[in-house]
Structure 1
């Protein structure tokens, strides 16, 4: 079938081969932008456009969503506002789509006087539909929902974005792994933005949006948190906040508990009460504050003596048991074991287990034929590993860390803005300043300033004389470490630079960018040598072999490419990954390279979950043959960074599961798991002697680990 793209067509489905729509006589478009095959209508936006289920033929007919904007009333304020919001959604998805719980943007374009936005298809029901199917939620369900959504809100708020329309319809529970996905960024704005309100119009949803947003057109992180509280209220009571708002205005939030069917724990009730405060000054101001209150009572139960940063590999997989009541009992037992036996990190492991289960497990009539299976951890030891220092000088997420060739200095860069103390924001310098630290003492030595936008990556030259950085201003800067002065700026990329590598002789620089290209530079002169084109999406990781001849690049297009950089030719494309490639690294001997990728889960055929490559997040490849040789399995979430030890015996991997794993490459076994970070581990670096590992994280810290 071929679908008519006229938003007013009463019957858009047509047989294949037709050139004119049988219902409205509009010319049919076989492929949008020669790439997207529209299959059928998913929803109708009342003449302003439609949302279609489509196939991306460039990605082996992968299913996607195409949103169309075709406003009827040209030149009107409504049409102008619709176009503005449509473009805003594309912009926000481009900025935020790297998060695994936000849909990825595939394309944004104009064709035949219509605007189109193409994004990742999320299979699953939104929470409103889920509520209709299950009729009610209990307090443990709400806590799981909060702990799944709050990190997403922290992610977008840290990047200066307010969603402004948090409600059950805009939250989808992904069918594959039960995680919650935040959609519809058409109303999102920067912190400081104000809505130009018109009579009869508003941005947001009545009942879910707070008073400062609907009345004054102002939105802040706490505005999204009000919407989150209203969403939880709706799920708990089955009563729409919109209906209460129509009858009572905002007065209902003062006595919201009278609508409850079942009592809540005092702790959860207090959290929801603070989320639903009408006065913004009395409300939570950040997602971090809510997370702390949700977990503080559990943390008080922990014994300090058991809260260790270094742990042996724990239970790896739990499949759904036969009956609902057995599952709940099993989770309680696991909770007691993890919390009292493993400390705070054990509690986090329990929450990941509970939150990751599909919502259907909470239904009273739930049944399953799967058995509960606990895998046995490998029994491997590796000397003594200790956390020796935590550097807390950054105000926001640490994006990149590097260690100088002499092993004395750490370079780091971070992300974001922070509040002024009022309702505005000011730069912290963390998004533009590179910090230099003394590795031995942990003291900050100096900082390098001069970047106009966020710095994403830093790297030392092999001779230790220069530092190179890449950032969101599309440029690369080269710094003289002796003077702390900028030597030059390299311009040529048309989008953010996220990946850098330098040849062993310190003569050649390689950069990877969100413009889908790789550029080769003469580091001494700053001249561009050539551009490597071949990836179809962001290039987020590059690495050079020991001889400086072979380049490996990893991309969001799910491929790894090997290049001969002296000739500027692609050697081979490795397509064994089913998910985004997040990191690549060469072994010191140059014979092997490793890649890290995102996680993916799917149903096991019953009501349980199994990894579809989610555990297979690190792959080892033979450089000579380009063949996959080994798989390192163990992380519970996306691998974000990998690093080989200087002797090539250990591979370190950091992940969104907040842990670092060390792997014995001789036996292909996990050595140990390092725990201590409270958010995603973003970057790893070994010291030249291999005795120290440095890690950066979205928890705003740098940790120094001593290996022996």
Structure 2
């Protein structure tokens, strides 16, 4: 096969002997610089070029990696900056490649108007892919990772180089010896007095890069150490620092322990906490300081495998009102009993009791609860709940799922890999058998959300490519593409009559479309930040929208004017849904709770508490009696809407639950997750 070197080519692989690309007609190059044979695309570099897996024919076809820079806009600042960084990366590799855990530079040249950097190929997986496969890292493994990476950082810092982009994707475990390798020096910078004093261009990865680097463009050895701490946090918890940063900036670093599955030993806890200090003055200033805290204590303090350290963890418990001293006492006594009765598993039991009691306390404090108690609404008991099937087919996270109105088809969005290329796809599944029916391709970036029209005829998808695509669900053919948003589209809703489509975008706007013609009806403005969720009332009169500006807005859908703004959210709103009878709005935000609102009055009914991480998705059952919620805590909870009580917790996913949906008959609940799977749960009442 011959790989096309046009960075915009959608299908770059061609059969041997071809002179021109069969996809884009670009002349094909069999050997770059008469030496390097390009095999396939490894990754896309954001429009400026690609990274390719290649062979060095001068070294018996030894594998290598070629990074391409193909500037599109000659003379622009972006093009000049990209070329400057590319040359600096080559220089860094030339200087640092002598280290056995940094890829060596093999060549740097220009050909056909593009720049190419050839470096040593590290045969292995990066830590992000490893995390997706393994799902979790133990404290011992994190200590091992630190001890493997810290000497590499010391090596580059001693040579006055700051990497500036430490994250799991840039750390590869070599399959041959298991050692970690640090890659991608495209963001690295020579550390000089000039760099310290002069503000520069912000560079790095949000969530992994510290405040001084993102805000001021300044980079120090301590900046790389923050990235190392954020990487360890990600591997320990499975929670992405990038996603947390998008939701709340750097707020997560002050309460990072709350994302832990279990507490760390005090020494590792101390080290990671100091690595993650927002203020650079409070953070470790050098690798040697980290090693002094980590190495000697690690050898003395680690308990034998399977034994508890016997120390109460530093993780803080949620606030409990002082007016319930008996409840507070009960929690403390329970923690004491569980600590000495269950060893290492005490923490999980403690969290279950803690969240259960907190949930009950919230129910008694919630507005409208007295009416529920006096009316004594019936409890909902699910007789038998079972995991019926797990669907596997997406190569990466399942971002969204939807169920057809006839209950026969599941639609999901995610990524797949074909011939080494990552494609952003939509899959159709048979709900009864779990068999994959079809795969739809068309979007050029992540497909964030899918929805099916109530008449079952139309499938709609929205993407990071700023577009919305309309598909015929029966023929699986694309009908049209809607353009108009200037940023990623993350929210979709269709009216009950299947005539109106509503979309929400990271451009802070909501657009209303005629679903049948694709005509844009109007644009709603008012949110000050990303719109990530929308919901339409059954009578198609009311629209609710949730935003990262911490508000929920209620709109008149037919006229397009705002009715009210609900501001009882202390954090970014992650999802909204309206009950089948159109009376109740459910919303979730970053503070791990779910709020129920009277849609007509805008009054809060009650708050549901129980999840121990961000709630990402909520869905009402068809009869409106049960609410399902999915969370980053990897669980799904079912709630009694009449009482606010938690009915059941479903555990089975090994990563964030991104989407939940009930089948129309209420017999099935379907969930999608960042563990790359879809699960079908059978519910029997």
TM-score (norm 1): 0.53
Structure 1 residues 103 and 258: alpha-carbon distance in aligned structure 2, compared to 1, 3 A threshold: closer
Tell me, what secondary structure is at the counterpart of 1:470? Answer: strand
1:363-399 CA-partner distances (Å, limit 9, x unpaired):
xxxxxxxxxx998799973322211111122222211
- Please report how far the alpha carbon of residue 485 of structure 1 lies from its aligned counterpart in structure 2 after TM superposition: 1.7
1:522-570 CA-partner distances (Å, limit 9, x unpaired):
1111111110000001100000000111100000111110111221111
Match for 1:542 among 519, 524, 534? 534
Establish whether residue 401 from structure 1 lines up as the match of residue 392 from structure 2.
no
Establish whether residue 646 from structure 1 lines up as the match of residue 622 from structure 2.
yes
Establish whether residue 505 from structure 1 lines up as the match of residue 497 from structure 2.
yes
Aligned to 1:460: 452
Structure 1 residues 176 and 407: alpha-carbon distance in aligned structure 2, compared to 1, 3 A threshold: same
1-side partners of 2:625 and 2:401: how far apart?
21
Structure 1 residues 408 and 350: alpha-carbon distance in aligned structure 2, compared to 1, 3 A threshold: same
RMSD: 5.0
Q: Contact 1:173–1:179 (CA<8 Å) still a contact in 2?
A: no
Match for 1:523 among 509, 515, 527? 515
1:610-662 CA-partner distances (Å, limit 9, x unpaired):
xxxx5xx1111112212112222222222111100001111111112221111
Establish whether residue 386 from structure 1 lines up as the match of residue 416 from structure 2.
no
Structure 1 residues 489 and 466: alpha-carbon distance in aligned structure 2, compared to 1, 3 A threshold: same
Aligned to 2:45: none
Instruction: Summarize the alignment of residues 418-457 of structure 1 with structure 2, pairs less than 5 Å apart.
Output: 427-429=421-423, 432-457=424-449
Aligned to 1:349: 348
Q: Contact 1:495–1:514 (CA<8 Å) still a contact in 2?
A: yes
- Please report how far the alpha carbon of residue 328 of structure 1 lies from its aligned counterpart in structure 2 after TM superposition: 11
Structure 1 residues 353 and 388: alpha-carbon distance in aligned structure 2, compared to 1, 3 A threshold: closer
1-side partners of 2:343 and 2:502: how far apart?
46
- Please report how far the alpha carbon of residue 261 of structure 1 lies from its aligned counterpart in structure 2 after TM superposition: 6.7
Aligned to 1:674: 650
Structure 1 residues 261 and 687: alpha-carbon distance in aligned structure 2, compared to 1, 3 A threshold: closer
Establish whether residue 150 from structure 1 lines up as the match of residue 235 from structure 2.
yes
Name stretches of at least 5 consecutive residues in structure 2 with no aligned partner.
1-191, 261-267, 276-282, 309-316, 326-330, 364-378
- Please report how far the alpha carbon of residue 447 of structure 1 lies from its aligned counterpart in structure 2 after TM superposition: 0.5
Aligned to 1:242: 287
1-side partners of 2:667 and 2:511: how far apart?
33
Q: Contact 1:654–1:682 (CA<8 Å) still a contact in 2?
A: yes
Instruction: Summarize the alignment of residues 69-148 of structure 1 with structure 2, pairs less than 5 Å apart.
Output: 86-89=201-204, 92-93=205-206, 148=233
Q: Contact 2:225–2:284 (CA<8 Å) still a contact in 1?
A: no
Aligned to 2:659: 683
2-side partners of 1:413 and 1:548: how far apart?
26
Instruction: Summarize the alignment of residues 481-630 of structure 1 with structure 2, pairs less than 5 Å apart.
Output: 481-599=473-591, 617-630=593-606
1:332-361 CA-partner distances (Å, limit 9, x unpaired):
752576689xxxxx678369799x9xxxxx
Q: Contact 1:158–1:416 (CA<8 Å) still a contact in 2?
A: no
1-side partners of 2:242 and 2:570: how far apart?
30
1-side partners of 2:476 and 2:193: how far apart?
52
1-side partners of 2:230 and 2:350: how far apart?
11
2-side partners of 1:572 and 1:339: how far apart?
51
1:221-269 CA-partner distances (Å, limit 9, x unpaired):
xxxxxxx99966999xx99863489xxxxxx99xx956757242465xx
Q: Contact 2:625–2:642 (CA<8 Å) still a contact in 1?
A: yes
1-side partners of 2:241 and 2:606: how far apart?
36
Establish whether residue 700 from structure 1 lines up as the match of residue 676 from structure 2.
yes
TM-score (norm 2): 0.55
Tell me, what secondary structure is at the counterpart of 2:338? Answer: helix
Aligned to 2:121: none
Structure 1 residues 244 and 146: alpha-carbon distance in aligned structure 2, compared to 1, 3 A threshold: closer
1-side partners of 2:556 and 2:358: how far apart?
46
Q: Contact 1:469–1:477 (CA<8 Å) still a contact in 2?
A: yes
Instruction: Summarize the alignment of residues 255-294 of structure 1 with structure 2, pairs less than 5 Å apart.
Output: 262-265=300-303
Q: Contact 1:148–1:179 (CA<8 Å) still a contact in 2?
A: no
Q: Contact 1:396–1:417 (CA<8 Å) still a contact in 2?
A: no
